[in-house]
Amino acid sequence: MQLETTINGNKIVLDFAGGEFLAETLRRYGYLSVKEGCDTGSCGLCTVWLDGAPVLSCTTLTARMEDHEITTIEALNVEAEEFAQFLVAEGAEQCGFCAPGFTMTVLAMRRELKHPTVESINHYLAGNLCRCSGYKGQMRAIVKYMGVE
């Protein structure tokens, strides 16, 4: 099957198999920042943006991507680097496997939440799991990054 869509600002014609999910398609096209963990919509590792909002690419059918705007972390290097510095400052950098999906969610959250609180941040991030930690260092970094008083 084929369709035209936009990835990181570039129009592209995608070839894909019927029933293929977006995570697999993106990786096949070289967007290797997109990780797959659970493949069941439970861990958030595969998060990308669809028309500016975070989605789980392991459960999003590629066939639904006609004329949409897909964004991966490859297009958000500057913002991702800025957030990474907050993680480092709190000693929260670990194996990094969850980082691309987690960062895509954090960057979307920063755009969306106008008056963030610890509670609203926790709620927003509930779908992004990290197998390395208890989230304490990450939360310290996120709270500072989001400018929560």
Contacts with ligand FES by CB under 6 A lie at 36-39, 41-46, 56, 58, 94-98, 130-132
Does residue 77 contact residue 85 with C-beta atoms inside 8 Å?
Answer: no
DSSP string, 30-88: T-TT---SSSSSSS-TTEEEETTEEEEGGGSBGGG-TT-EEE-GGG-HHHHHHHHHHHH
Least Å distance, CB 11 to ligand FES, is 26
How far apart are CB 37 and ligand FES at their closest, in Å? 4
CB of 56 to ligand FES, least distance (A): 4
Nearer to ligand FES, 41 or 84 (CB): 41
Task: Tell whether the torsion through CA atoms of 68, 73, 84 and 96 is positive or negative.
Answer: positive
**Minimal distance, residue 129 CB to ligand FES, in Å:** 8
Residue 15 Cα to chain centre, angstroms: 23
- Other beta carbons less than 10 A from residue 126's beta carbon: 10
Q: Which is nearer to ligand FES, 38 or 113 (CB)?
A: 38
Q: Is 16 helix (H, G, I), strand (E, B) or coil?
A: coil
Shortest distance (Å) from residue 143 CB to ligand FES: 18
Among candidates 147, 17, 43, 146, which has minimal Cα distance to 101?
Answer: 43
46/109 with CB nearer ligand FES: 46
Q: Which is nearer to ligand FES, 96 or 148 (CB)?
A: 96
Closer residue to ligand FES, CB minimum distance, 63 or 84? 84
